[in-house]
Structure 1
Amino acid sequence: MTAPINIQEAGQPMVAKARDADSERFLISDLCDLLESYLPHDAVQEVYGAYLFGAEAHEGQHRMSGEPYIYHPIAVARILAEMHMDHQSIVAAILHDVIEDTPTAKEQIQTRFGAEVAELVDGVSKLTQIQFESKAEQQAENFRKMMLAMVRDIRVILIKLADRLHNMRTLGVMRPDKRRRIARETLEIYAPIANRLGMNQMRLELEDLGFRRPASHALTGAGRGRATRPRQPQGGPLNKIETAIKGRLRQEHIDGEVRSREKHLYSLYRKMRVKGVSFADVSDVYAFRVIVDKPDTCYRALGIVHNLYKPVPGKFKDYIAIPKANGYQSLHTVLFGPYGVPIEVQIRTDDMDRVAEAGIAAHWLYKAGEGGGANSAQLRAREWLRELLEMQKNAGNSLEFLENVKIDLFPDEVYVFTPQGDIMELPRGATPVDFAYAVHTEVGNTCIAAKVDRHLSPLRTPLFNGQTVEIITAPGAHPNPAWLNFVITAKARSNIRHHLKNLRSEEAVNLGRRLLDKALSGMGLTLNELPKDRLDAFLAECGVGSLDAVLDDIGLGNRIPVLVARQLAGRSEEPEASATDGARVSTPLAIKGTEGMVVSYARCCRPIPGDPIIGFVSAGRGIVIHAENCKNVADYRNQPEKWIDVQWEPDVEGEFPAELRIEVANQRGVLATVAAVIADMGSNIENVAIEERDGMNTTMVFTITVKNRQHLASVMRRIRHIKLVLRLSRGRG
């Protein structure tokens, strides 16, 4: 140390305070010694100045363990110093709680330590001045704030991870319920973020600390012991296998390092839960890491271990040629080891190993020796940050954003190819729609079909390693709400929701305009004829900023059009006509079939064009179309203000579901015969249910799509001509 670390302790007669001061002096002195090993003296002095500032700000505050609060920021700074982080990060780590937990303002930090440090501290600080409706919303909003700050500066998340790591190391003093909540949050969010950034050492410690729950931890540990103990020879299998691998590498003149380990308990637990396997089926309880000088040697070493022990078919993965999403590179293989013990071997270079352990932090940890160039983990992290920003823009609220990030944090990769031969990495279980959005948002939005290995495949088909995927698009296409039932990537989910929300809003505004114009026409007015001052006064009274917001509410059924029309027309009383609804005296609203999501068709009666219909205004859904003879219409008659007269347009577009109940003789091939006739008539079968009546007859319930009543009648006529059909009727849901 060039400058000694002295803390002035004046007027502290109590022994406990003196002991605290000695411990504090040791902690900061030890931190500064570590910083002196890689930072210039001026930078270390600035860190020490931050310590004095933070100690004064946290004066009188104590942790639940009873120790002075400043111990925690120093410990967080120490974790970052071990990563060789820059001095701004160390300063921000020491000050990371002063905005949140003390009266200190961000401006004070900016004045004393600069804008860069102030932004880092602010990025880690929680939102404490805003009132939220629930604890979950508050946590989600705090998380979103931190992630957006991370997009601006990746060091924000590194400080937060170090903060969480020290909190987990000292979690024992918390209440049991709080320990469980923090541990669950660590396993669900922070450990996966460390993994996404390639920081393996930090991930493993966070997982181990978060997994220290009595039941599952004890069961997993006991199970691992039972699974491996009977097979362990004298001296243990790890030493013997390690010696064999080292000896074979020396024979082939390969200078490499061999390390052995047992799989971490949480990794075992998660693999068993996700894959639904027992300990006997876990193939990598034992693992060995072979570190060599260059990539070519990795493949030579792979041949050597395959020659030493037989490989397990289908268990080889080449992450050197195709790195993981976090930049991780290595060769993985599972071998039939001696003594009946399956073993996993990871082979990588020294550079790959350093990136695998430190991830994004390897940029700071090895900057001096490697010239500060961006490593693969950094490049992958930047791409992930870009995707996070896109998810944030498309998310409706902080809870949705948190859900999308959680989905994104658990990738189990599958690698597929574009028609041009480019490799795309997707989570396991991804579908062609996920692939389309991974290529480009616009490709996903206009996707209509997909070819997998040159064959047309349903859009919900799960993809597997090595497949070639081609997306077919159409200019006027848009996302289908049903896609949300099977897509698994956060990017696809957030973009589909964003597009549908915008589409639904546009459709709601258009429908709202039609409904309001219809209601006004019964009063001898139109929306375009309303004076501007009357419209402005109405908007001010409603507390909304635009007419579109009112029309959107009307289209979604949240406002009743006739009541809005009366307000706009300046009429507070009913019209003199006996009709309950002013809109009923005008022409019924015409249904085109292209209104989209704001007009839906009741499943209880399944109306189709040509059926007499009536509309029910449902809050949040828009208009639900029922057949006039639907049994539910009578139930809703006590809400006359929510009913609206509707009729079909002369030329309705689209296809509508209809239900057919067909009683047939129970003979082989009858289902195929009926299905073929329906297909020949240009109708699609959406669902078939079989109801066995007796040994002679069977009732089949088909849900088919038709254009109108005439089309349905034609289909029914053709079905009646089938000899095996005994009775046919139209179902009503």
Structure 2
Amino acid sequence: MTTADDLIDLVRTYNPRCNDTLLRRAFVFGDEMHAGQFRHSGEPYITHPVAVAETLAKMQMDDATVITALLHDTIEDTPATFAQVEEIFGREIADLVDGVTKLTNLQLNSRETKEAENFRKLFMATSRDLRVTLVKLADRLHNMRTIRSMKPEKQAQKARETMDIYAPLAGRMGMQWMREELEDLAFRVLNSEARNSILRRFIKLRQDAGDVVSRITTDMRVELDRAGISAEVMGRAKKPYSIWRKMQEKDQGFSRLSDIYGFRVITATEADCYRALGAIHQRWRAVPGRFKDYISQPKTNGYRSIHTTVSGRDGRRVEVQIRTREMHEVAETGVAAHWSYKNGERVENRFAVDPVKWINALTDQLEDDEDHNAFLEAVKLEMYTDQVFCFTPKGDVIKLPRGATPIDFAYAIHTRIGSMCQGARVDGLRVPLWTRLKNGQSVEIITAQGQTPQSTWIDIAVTGRAKTAIRKVLRDQNRERFIRLGRELARVAFENVGKRMTEQALRTAARAMTIEGVDEMLSQIGGAEMSARDIVATLYPDLRPREGDEVEAAHAVVGLTSDQTHQRALCCQPVPGERIVGIAFRGQGVRVHAIDCAALADYEDQPERWIDLRWEDGQHRPVHTVTLDLSITNDAGVLGRICTLIGEQGANISDLKFIDRKPDYFRLLVDVDLRDVDHLHRVRTAISADSSVSHVSRHRDPGQSGAG
């Protein structure tokens, strides 16, 4: 294991003026806090934060980031508190550690508006200090490197999460090396057979053709020397996952793939980049359509390089990237280039782009009145996709996510152009609006007066900007219908607390909630932008169902000790009448799960945390929230009728969210407060009997393993 002296020596190689006293103190503090804790491999837990710190030190990060890595799990998993970390290491480091803890607990794929709100706040908080994200990425990298000691199901879960979230995030931050390693580590778990097959093919290819990389590298150096260009040439075979993805995209076997080798040419100046390109193209034939100049058109994360593909020895295609040393540093370290040190001094790389600018550009696209789920969707779309560059007829460059359509292009120019879009021409040819745009294409948008967005555009559009603008227009078009739906939902919410809805009550609630008028408030309720329960809570805070019932509900579970608190797990939402089991969490009480909950598999190897529980006999209060998944026809009055049916069964609707809107049907999630499993059965039966309901089921989300 790396010692404190080893880590300090590593930091000193790029920052001789580092605070070795504070680094050593953090190492000792982390070791003491994690004493007695072990990883799945059996190693002392402290080996993990030390490995994370070592990765960040190799990226030449500042002292605060390396120290945060050493402490990143202390607030979450040990008795250490924020105040204690702040007292010993200062507010900056305490905030960084707290930020990593929040990122760890974040559910990026949650359907809950509350989670979307949390994501928005947390995203803005981390945008002020991206070092939090860097620590989290290094944390995930080490976890993936040591994933073999975990159970197979957990390995698969972590690998999918890495492939979907962390690898694209690393790429978006400009750390391509980390993205490639994360993808390959996840690929090894998710499809080890395919990965091993590719590796075997590489071994066979090397046996048949010899060391191709070494020979082509030598050839390139000879050509560059002949042209008088001083440059470093590096070559390598591409990662197995990169090969596999190319095979899937092109629907080709390994033997038909040609560009499986990549080479980098590092020059002294930008002018030498173009001279090197000329020398390479003179020696080898360029492959048409495979040239990209990211020096004249840099990526939004600061990446600059010339990409070309040429036919090398024996007609074998090879990909070549040409860049200067400064460009290479940004390409390798991305956002970390902001914290680069040389001889103990921070050095500013002129090509490094602050990701905060990217985040600000993203949030600037969103209007103030947009809902949090739209923000969450836009963030994911912008963060996890590569970009394409298209041109207007006047030659202006429009940057879009890969897979974008002419609709996205139109809205990127102006919201008015998008809403009036009737058709599009790409490179002079009329194309359908669902056409996927490619790099370098010229796009002309055809508009027409009186044209308005269609509901099908939601599925065609890719960018958050376009989707949000389309939803806004559709919402305005459906305003009258949403007002009627909202009024019915509000009536049921008032009746559930024994009150009568009046116009005066609605006006009072609108003023108290600073909403411009009763109709606007009802429209937001009908459009599922807010809950009718919020109105009741504003007018009658003492009648809110969850306020007075929590204490009584706390006595509904039998099997806890007097000092133990409990919470129902959100993943399975158990209700009285179902078999239950408890999972103990240090400092967080006991989380109650249904006995058939899929999330319990995560704790199979920790029997000491399991607690045998049962529901108390007798009548229970209707305070146990269950989420129902409904599909209903898109007809006037249907949703109001469903809400009335639920109210007639003595159940309260505490929240409602649309998750899919189509011209002929709606799909929505409804949170209903129930007494027990029999009450749930009666509510489902009543809803199923309505001819406008095509589907009703209990919604369970294994990813929501937290408590509520």
- Which residue pairs with 1:284 in the alignment? 259
The equivalent residue for 2:247 is 272
Residue 617 of structure 2 corresponds to: none
Match of 2:638 in 1: 618
Residue 396 of structure 2 is matched in structure 1 by 422
Measure, in 2, the Cα distance between the counterparts of 1:189 and 1:531: 47
* CA-CA distance at 1:499 after TM superposition: 5.8
Q: Within 2, Cα distance between the matches of 1:296 and 1:226?
A: 39
Letter of the aligned partner of 1:358 in structure 2?
A: T
Q: In the alignment, what sits opposite 2:129? A: 153
User: Is the contact made by 2:268 and 2:324 (CA closer than 8 Å) also made in structure 1?
Assistant: yes
Post-superposition offset of 1:261: 0.5
- Number of equivalenced pairs: 535
Partner SS state of residue 263, structure 2: strand
Contact 2:481 2:636 in 1 (8 A): no
CA deviation vs aligned residue, 1:366-400 (integer Å, no higher than 9, x gap): 566996436444245621454168669787566x7
Q: Structure 1 residues 477, 46: CA separation in 2 closer, same or farther (over 3 Å shift)? A: farther
Q: 1:213 aligns with which of 185, 189, 195?
A: 189
Same amino acid, percent of matched pairs: 44
User: Which residue in the other structure is 2:90 paired with?
Assistant: 114
The whole-number CA distance in structure 2 between the counterparts of 1:299 and 1:361 is: 27
Q: Offset at 1:479?
A: 4.3
Which structure 1 residue ranges, 5 or more long, are not aligned? Answer: 1-22, 518-526, 565-600, 604-614, 624-638, 640-655, 658-733
Q: Does 1:248 align with 2:194?
A: no
Q: Secondary structure at the match of 1:378?
A: coil
Query: TM-score normalized by structure 2?
Result: 0.64
8 A Cα contact 2:389 2:438, kept in partner: yes
| 2:68 counterpart residue number | 92
Q: Which residue of 2 aligns with 1:263?
A: 238
The match for 1:360 is 335
Q: Which one has a bigger Cα radius of gyration? A: 1
Q: Distance in 1 between matches of 2:239 and 2:340?
A: 25
In 1, distance between residues paired with 2:181 and 2:527? 53
Matched ranges for 1:105-254 at <5 A: 105-126=81-102, 147-213=123-189, 216-223=191-198, 225-226=200-201, 229=204, 235-254=210-229
Q: Quick one: distance in 1 between partners of 2:128 and 2:174?
A: 19
Query: What is the alpha-carbon distance in structure 2 between the residues aligned to residue 249 and residue 67 of structure 1?
Result: 50
- Deviations along 1:164-197, one digit per CA (max 9) or x if unpaired, are 1111111111111001110111111111111111
Query: Are residues 489 and 280 of structure 1, via their aligned partners in 2, closer, same or farther at CA, if it must alter by over 3 Å?
Result: farther
CA displacement, residues 586-610 of structure 1 (integer Å, 9 cap, x when unaligned): xxxxxxxxxxxxxxx999xxxxxxx
Relative to structure 1, is the Cα distance of residues 238 and 249 closer, same or farther in structure 2, using a 3 angstrom cutoff?
A: same
Give the secondary-structure state (helix, strand or coil) at the position aligned to 2:400. strand
C-alpha change, 1:97 and 1:45, in structure 2 (3 Å) is same
Correspondence 1:398-409 to 2 at 5 A: 404-409=378-383
How far apart, CA to CA, are the structure 1 residues paired with 2:443 and 2:162? 36
- CA positional deviation for 1:213: 2.7
Shift in alpha-carbon separation, 1:475–1:621, aligned structure 2, 3 A: farther
Evaluate the alpha carbon distance shift between residue 464 and residue 134 of structure 1 in structure 2; reply closer, same or farther with a 3 A threshold.
closer
**SS of 2:76 mapped into structure 1:** helix
Partner of 2:557: none
Aligned residue type for 1:213: V
Per-residue deviation, 1:48: 2.3
Question: What is the aligned partner in structure 2 of residue 432 from structure 1?
Answer: 406
Deviation at 1:537, TM superposition (A): 11
Tell me how far apart the structure 2 counterparts of residues 129 and 227 of structure 1 sit (CA, whole Å): 40
Partner of 1:670: none
Partner of 1:14: none
TM-score, with normalisation over the residues of structure 1?
0.62
Give the secondary structure class of the aligned counterpart of 2:286. Answer: coil
1:15-54 maps to which residues of 2 (within 5 A)?
23=1, 26-39=2-15, 43-54=19-30
Q: Give the partner amino acid of 2:11.
A: L
Say whether the 8 Å CA contact 1:197–1:381 is kept in structure 2: no
Cα distance in 2 for partners of 1:115, 1:559 equals 38
Distance 1:484 1:72, change over 3 A: same
Given the alignment, which residue of 342, 362, 373 partners 1:387?
362
> Against the structure 1 CA distance between its residues 548 and 389, is the aligned structure 2 distance closer, same or farther, given a 3 Å change threshold?
closer
Check 1:259–1:513 CA distance in 2 against 1; reply closer, same or farther (3 A cut).
closer
- In the alignment, the residues of structure 2 paired with residue 516 and residue 85 of structure 1 have an alpha-carbon distance, to the nearest angstrom, of 54
Gap regions ≥5 residues in structure 2? 492-500, 537-631, 649-662, 665-708
Distance 1:57 1:185, change over 3 A: same
| Counterpart-to-counterpart distance in 1, 2:205 and 2:41 | 43
Question: Quick one: structure 1 residues 420 and 184, their matched pair in 2 at CA, closer, same or farther if it must change by over 3 Å?
Answer: same
Deviates more, 1:130-139 or 1:105-114: 130-139
* 2:274 corresponding residue in structure 1: 299
Contact 1:445/1:477, CA 8 A, preserved across alignment: yes
Q: How far apart, CA to CA, are the structure 2 residues paired with 1:375 and 1:502?
A: 46
What is the CA RMSD across the aligned residues, in angstroms?
4.6
Q: Which residue matches 1:585?
A: none
Deviation at 1:264, TM superposition (A): 0.5
Q: Cα–Cα, structure 1 residues 254 and 45, in superposed 2: closer, same or farther, change >3 Å?
A: same
In terms of mean alpha carbon deviation, does 469-478 or 170-179 score higher? Answer: 469-478
Return the letter of the residue paired with 2:437.
Answer: L
Is the partner of 1:343 in helix, strand or coil?
strand
Residues 549, 264 of structure 1: alpha-carbon distance in 2 compared, 3 angstrom cutoff: same
Alpha-carbon distance, 1:120 to partner:
1.5
Contact 1:233–1:339 (8 Å) recurs in 2: no
1:32 to 1:366, Cα distance in 2 relative to 1, 3 A: closer
Q: Secondary structure at the match of 1:153?
A: coil
Question: Which secondary structure state, in structure 2, belongs to the residue aligned with residue 73 of structure 1?
Answer: helix
Other-structure match for 2:292: 317
Mapped contact 2:340–2:347 kept (Cα < 8 A): no
Map of 1:494-643 to 2, 5 A cutoff? Answer: 494-497=468-471, 500=474, 504=478, 508-509=482-483, 532=504, 549=521, 617-619=637-639
- Cα distance, 1:189–1:509 mapped onto 2, change above 3 Å: same
CA apart distance, 1:199: 0.5
Residue type matched to 1:463 in 2? L
**Residue 324 (structure 2) aligns with:** 349
Structure 2 letter corresponding to 1:619 = L
Query: Given that residues 184 and 240 in structure 2 are in contact (C-alpha distance below 8 angstroms), is that contact kept between their aligned partners in structure 1?
Result: yes
> Aligned in 2, Cα 1:367/1:420: closer, same or farther, shift over 3 Å?
farther
Decide whether aligned partners of structure 1 residues 496 and 61 sit closer, same or farther in structure 2, where only a CA change above 3 A counts.
farther
